Every structure is written in C-alpha cells, then in structure tokens.
A and B are shown apart, each in its own frame.
Chain A
Amino acid sequence: MFYKKSGQFKTSYDADQAMLPLLQERISIFVILAVAFLVIPLVATTYVINSLLMPFLIYSLAAVGLNILVGYCGQISLGTGGFMAVGAISAWNIIERIPDMPVLAAFLLAGFITSATGVVFGLPALRIKGFYLAVTTLAAQFFLIWLLQQPWFLNYSATGVISAQDISVMGWTINTPVEKYLFVLVVVIVMTLLAKNIVRSVTGRKWMAIRDMDVAAEIIGIRPMATKLQAFAVSSFFIGIAGVLWGYLYLGQLEPAAFDVYVSFDVLFMVIIGGLGSILGSFLGAAFVVLMPLALSFLGGILGLGTAMVAYVETFTFGVLILLFLLAEPHGLAHILSVAKQQMRIWPFPY
C-alpha cells in the first residue's frame, strides 16, 4: 500500500544507520510532532491535557526508563515507584534548600541522584538474577518510600504532602496547563531521542548481549558489572525525571506515599504490554494504561455503578487485560504494529 520501501535507496552509511530510514516514517513522525506542538495546544481542553496527555507523556518517559532496564538489559525491576519518588522529592529539596537554584539544573541533579540510588539498589543484580532480583528491587520500593517519608525530606510537613514550588525556565514562568504540557512534551521528546540513540549505540548492544546471555556476554569481553550498573543508572535517571515531572508539572504537589508499589506494577505492565525492548512500545503501553481506566469509568458512569464499584471493576479488568494481552500477544503492541507494517509493505499479496 502506501508503506513501500521501493525506490528508497541508501547510498551512504549515514543513511543506512538513520533512526527513521523510511520516508513514510519520517513523515508520520513529523505529522505527530506537528499535531503535538501546534494543534493540541490550540484545541485541547484543560481536561484533556490534565487527565490524558500529561499522565500519558510522563508515564511514557517512566516506561522508556524501565524498558531500558527490563527490555534491553533483562533485569526485572519492581522499584519504579520508589525511584520516581526519589526524583520528585530530591528535586523539591534541592530547589528548597539551595538558594537561586536554576530549575532545570535542579531537575537534572535530581535525575542524577536517582541514578545513584538506582546504582546502589542495582548492586545485588551482580550476584542475583531473574525472580530473585525482582523481589530484591521491592526492597528499593519499600525502603525508599519509607525513607522519603521521614520528616526532614518533607520539611516537617504535618500531612506528608508538600506542594511543588513554582517553576520558571530562563524567565518563562510555567503555570498554565498548556505551558506545562509543552514543557513536558519537550522534555519527553529530548529524553526519548536520547534513549533511542543510547540503545542503538555500543552501550545498548552491550545491554542486549547481557540480556540474551550474561555468561556468554562476559566471555566476549563485556564487563557484566559495569554494564548492568550502567543500565540501572540510565534507567533510574529516566524514571527519576519522570517522577520530577509527575510531581511538579502534573500534580503540582509531592507525596512519597503516592508512588506506591502499584505504580511500579503499572509501569512494568506498560513495558510488557507495549513490547519489551521497544521505545515506541513504551509509548503505546503508556497510552493503553492511561486510557483504560478513563474508558472504564466512562462505561461505569453509563451503567450507573458507584465510584467505589468502578474502582473495583477497574482493578479486576486491569488484571483480565494483563492476562488477555499475555495470552494473545506476549510480544506486545509494538509487535502488532510491526506485523501490520510488514503486511502493508507487501499488500495486496499475502507474502
């Protein structure tokens, strides 16, 4: 159909290694970006931005981060919520306690602090694998949330909730929903480009070698320790930034208890449903997980169920969908998409 490779010749190594080798892909990305930057700020209502786009973008970033660890490096982690909390709370403390701290620098620093935390909790990964590691990362989840609930981190707030400071970047004060949306959009795009390029580089190939078989990777000269910790550091950086955005631009308030173990499950689910080892998949998974509860509560409203009942049905349906997805398409939404692309490429012939 319209997705044809014919006539597109690669005449240089640069063209061969391009991120988007096909013209159709470049056009579709361009259209998506144009819509995201130009159309949505003009037409989207505050409701759409606040309850749909912001969680989608931020969750996507967290899912990209977790995908680096789980999908590319093969280390299962259930500590995502804890790392998001570290990012958010450390950004708040940096801005609060260091006078005249530029916001972007504070956010970056918060990302690096999360990175360091990730490395500490990644240390067991050098000795422990698979399920053992997954449960060990629960230690990060429970310990970090407990630690961040200590009064010092929350500036002795009585409720355990602190409100985010106003943020301004180079004189631009970000306070309307559209401005917040644009800020998050830019951050997510920059970080996604970064992630995409890391996983295409030597670093990413090392991670994948470790994922596929770490003993064999070690034999061909990849240092497992450095590589695994690198994956933990990069992944935690992304997740930390996602936490910062969540606290500062989405909710406008910070509460460690909000980043509970269920956030970790949600993000892991996004990664698996979207497709392990796929950056695009992280976005698809996040879109699915953000849209599903909205759709369910909409349906629940039509059927006249109470709010509490809707929440219970939502939990139940979430579980059913996880199972259905795992049974029907264990390789995730990204795989469905690539199959569809392949079909379009050879259409109208079956093969």
Chain B
Amino acid sequence: MTFFIEVVITGLLGGLMYSTVGLGFVLIFKASGIFNFAQPVMVLFAAMFIAGLNQEFGIPLWQAIPLVALLMIGVAWVIERFVLRPMVNQEPILTFMATIGIFFILLGLAEMFWGSENRTLNVGIPRGPVFIGDILLQSYRVYSSIIGFIVVLLVVLFTQKTKMGRVLRAVADDHQAAQAVGIRLTTVWWVVWSIAGLIAIVAAIIWGGSIGVQPIMVDVAFKAFPVLLLGGLTSIPGVIIAGLIIGAGESVANVYLGPLIGGGIGNWFPYIIAMVFMLYRPQGLFGEKIIERI
C-alpha cells in the first residue's frame, strides 16, 4: 500500500509539471483563441539558451536566466508583430499551422545556436530521497512541484489582482467588447506570449534538471496536450487538476500496466486517458460548454 501511495504521489508531483506547461498554453488560448502548438518547443528553446549561455560562455545561471527571460519577451514581441498581427481573423486551422511554423523556427534556431548535444542544467535544487512518514519521495520532485505550484499561484494572482490581469480576463471574455473599451489587443497578445515564455523558462529549468537539456524534451512537453484537453483548454483550475490526474494515471500505469504489455507506455497513455474521457465530455473537465448555432 505504501508503495502504491508513493507511485501516486510521484505521479501527482510530475503532473504539476505538465500543468505548468499547459498553463502558458491556456493563457494564450484564452486571450487570442490560438492553439499554440509551439509551447513545448518554447520550453526546449529556453532550456537550450540557458544551458548554452551558461556552459559555452560561462555566464552564471543567475545572469543567464534573466537574459533568457528578456529573450523570451523579445521572441513574444516578434511573434506578435510578424505572425499574429497579420493572421488576425484567419481560419483557426491556419493559425494552428502557423504555430507549427513557429515550432520549427524555434527548434531550428535553438539547434543552430547550440547544436543538439545533451547538456546538463543544475540550478541547485536538492536531490536525493526524502521520507514523509513512511513514504519515500525524490526531493527533486517535491521541490520542483513546489516551484510549479508557486508559478500557478503567481499566474492566478496576476490574473485576479492586477490591472493587466483584469485586461486579460476582459479580452478572454469578449475580444470586441474589450476593444470597444479601449484595450489594445496587440499589447495583450504580447504580454500573454511573454508570460507563456516565462512559464516555459520555469518548466525548462525543472525538466532540464531532471532529464537533461536535449531535443527529446519536446516529446515530454508534448504530454501537456492531453492535460489541456482533459482540463478543457480555457480553464486554469482545469489544467492543474487535469495535470494531477494525468500525472497520477501515467505513473500508476507505468508501474502496474507497463510490465504487462511492454514498457514505454508513458508516451501515449496520457493521450488515451484524455481521448476516452472526452468521448463522454467533449469540452473537458472545466471547459465552457460548447454551444453550436446555425
């Protein structure tokens, strides 16, 4: 039983990581209706620049991270100015395809600068086992999920308590009404993509520390998509709860189901959870009810 609880808690902690990637995504989707397929690669992009600056140029991490934060804000500006603005009012499938374009651009840029070798990224999060009662956990996971939780909290505070947050919520509610009261959509998009970039940095640091900085990170970040579906694309609480469900489900399946049907099921199991769930509830856990009119 203790072992089962360990497995579940490890999964829950891992799931919070998916939530952090999913969070940036939800913000973008709410503010602009764009399904940002490039979010996973933003994580890789940030991780490679932090690790590259640190190891190739010897810039200490505490300087490299703010530098990359500035870079992500710059990237957000470029994306807003040269991709989103001209693509306003295009069909959703085309904006979706445009984010796949951004996906390849960021991937190619990161590799052009830093190659594709595996780098380590260690910001000094403690490692090693830790006991809570009888339950054995990895302290890295515990600390990283605390960080993830803080990020979520910050985002919630930002959207609920600041002026900019109120603007974001207004835009998410109704684009045209927001424009009518004098909100600049372009600024909002820039801010939102910047926040998504900053969240990607956090995910980059945490994942870079546990699996190393390498292109395979994108595959791990792909698992944020089922989390989004399950949570319902537009809901911040949804993405967190879905992250926990998927994390726990994946971890339990890996330990108990994996040996029965062959390993490596972590890649697709989250998708199957989301897919089966969505057959019953197409809008996800907390998504807005989909109403169609003719």
Q: Which residues of B contact A322 (CB under 8 A)?
A: 97-98, 100-101, 104
Rounded to whole Å, the gap between the CB of A135 and the closest CB of chain B is 5
Closest to B102 in A: A319
Residues of B within 8 A of A127 (CB): 278-279, 282
Let me know if A61 is at the binding interface, CB within 8 A.
no
A114 — which chain B residues lie within 8 A by C-beta?
Answer: none
Q: Residues of B contacting A219 with CB < 8 Å?
A: 294
Within the assembled complex, what's the spacing in Å between the Cα atoms of A174 and B111? 41
Is there contact, CB below 8 Å, between B111 and A315? yes
Is there a chain A Cβ closer than 8 Å to B267's Cβ?
yes
Q: Is B207 an interface residue (CB 8 A)?
A: no
Q: Does B58 contact A (CB under 8 A)?
A: no
B213 CB–A CB distance under 8 Å: no
Contacts of A70 in B (CB 8 A): 93
Inter-chain CA distance A276–B94, complex, in Å, is 10
- Check: B220 CB closer than 8 A to any chain A CB: no
A131 on the interface (CB 8 Å rule)? yes
Contacts of A269 in B (CB 8 A): 97, 100
**B259 contacts partner chain A, Cβ-Cβ < 8 Å:** no
Residue in B90, B268, B279 whose CB lies within 8 Å of A142? B268
Interface string of B259-283 (1 = CB under 8 A from A): 0001011011001101100110010
Q: What is the CB-to-nearest-CB distance from A214 to chain B, in angstroms, rounded to a whole number? A: 8
CA distance A136 to B279 in the complex (A): 10
Complex Cα–Cα for A313 and B274 (A):
35
Asked whether B97 lies within 8 Å of A268 as measured between CB atoms, the reply is: yes
Report whether B265 and A313 are in contact in the complex, using a CB–CB cutoff of 8 Å.
no
Q: Which chain B positions have C-beta within 8 A of A316? A: 104-105, 107-109, 112
Q: Within the assembled complex, what's the spacing in Å between the Cα atoms of A318 and B116?
A: 18
Q: Check A312 against B294 for contact (C-beta < 8 Å).
A: no
Q: Could you say which residues of chain B place their CB within 8 Å of the CB of A323?
A: 82-83, 98, 101-102, 105
Check A315 against B108 for contact (C-beta < 8 Å). Answer: yes
Q: Could you tell me if B87 and A327 are in contact, using CB atoms closer than 8 angstroms?
A: yes
Distance in Å: Cβ of B68 to nearest Cβ of chain A: 19
Q: Is the interface of A mostly helix, strand, loop or mixed?
A: helix
Judged by a CB distance under 8 angstroms, whether B86 is at the interface is: yes
| Residue of A136, A215, A317, A330 touching B229 (CB-CB under 8 A) | A136
**In the complex, B225 has a CB within 8 A of chain A:** yes
- The answer to whether A326 touches B98, judged by C-beta atoms less than 8 angstroms apart, is yes
Asked if A150 contacts B262 (CB within 8 A), the reply is yes
Q: Mark B75-119, 1 if CB is under 8 A from A, else 0.
A: 000000011001100111110111011111111110110011000
A198 at the interface (CB under 8 A from B): no
Chain B nearest CB from A310 CB (Å) reads 10
Compute how far the CA of A216 lies from the CA of B82 in the bound complex, rounded to whole angstroms.
36
Q: Smallest CB-CB separation from A311: which chain B residue? A: B111
A76 and B279 contact, CB distance less than 8 A: no
Give CA–CA (A327, B233) in the complex, Å.
26
Which residues 295-334 of A have a CB within 8 angstroms of B? 308-309, 311-323, 326-327, 330
Q: Which residues of the other chain, A, contact B226 by a CB distance below 8 angstroms?
A: 135, 139
Say whether B228 faces chain A, with CB atoms less than 8 Å apart.
yes
Check: B56 CB closer than 8 A to any chain A CB: no
Name the CB-closest residue of B to A219: B294
- The number of chain B residues with a CB under 8 A from chain A is 50
Q: Are B101 and A319 in touch, CB under 8 angstroms? A: yes
- Does chain B have a CB within 8 A of A143? yes
Residue B292 at the chain A interface, CB threshold 8 Å: yes
Interface residues of B in 136-181 (CB under 8 A from A): none
Task: A229 to B262: give the CA distance in the assembly, Å.
Answer: 30
A265 CB–B CB distance under 8 Å: yes
Complex contacts, A130 vs chain B, CB 8 Å: 92
**Chain A: CB-nearest residue to B86:** A327
Please judge, given known A-B contacts A216-B294, A219-B294, whether A138 and B108 are in contact too, CB under 8 Å. no
Inter-chain contact B271/A132, CB cutoff 8 Å: no
A326 touches B274 (CB 8 A): no
Could you tell me if A272 and B228 are in contact, using CB atoms closer than 8 angstroms?
no
Using known A-B contacts A138-B271, A143-B268, A319-B101, determine if residue A215 contacts B109 with beta carbons closer than 8 Å.
no
List A112-149 residues whose CB lies under 8 Å from chain B.
123-124, 127-132, 134-136, 138-139, 142-143, 146, 149
Chain B contacts for A308, CB-based, 8 A: 115-116
Check A139 against B100 for contact (C-beta < 8 Å): no
CB <8 Å contact, B97 and A272: yes
Indicate if A158 sits at the interface (CB-CB under 8 A): no
Contacts of A42 in B (CB 8 A): none
Min distance, Cβ B233 to any Cβ of chain A, angstroms? 7
With A and B bound together, what is the CA distance between A320 and B274 in angstroms?
32
Please give, as numbers and ranges, the residues of chain A lying within 8 Å of B93 by CB-CB distance: 70, 76, 272, 276
**Separation of A267 and B216 alpha carbons in the complex (Å):** 22
- Chain B residue nearest to A127 in the complex (CB): B282
Encode contact with B along A256-275: 1 for CB under 8 Å, 0 otherwise. 00000100010011001000
A228–B103 Cα distance when bound, in Å, is: 29
Residues of B within 8 A of A123 (CB): 279
Q: Can you show 24 pairs from A to B with CB atoms below 8 A apart?
A: A124-B279, A127-B278, A130-B92, A132-B229, A135-B225, A136-B278, A138-B222, A138-B225, A139-B272, A146-B265, A146-B268, A151-B262, A215-B292, A219-B294, A261-B222, A312-B108, A316-B109, A319-B104, A323-B82, A323-B98, A326-B90, A326-B101, A327-B83, A330-B94
Interface residues of A, Cβ cutoff 8 Å to B: 70, 76, 123-124, 127-132, 134-136, 138-139, 142-143, 146, 149-151, 213, 215-216, 219, 261, 265, 268-269, 272, 276, 308-309, 311-323, 326-327, 330
- Sample of 8 more A-B contacts, CB < 8 Å, known A320-B101, A330-B94: A124-B279, A128-B282, A138-B271, A146-B267, A316-B105, A319-B101, A322-B100, A323-B98
6 nearest A-B residue pairs (beta carbon): A316-B108, A319-B104, A322-B101, A319-B105, A139-B271, A315-B108
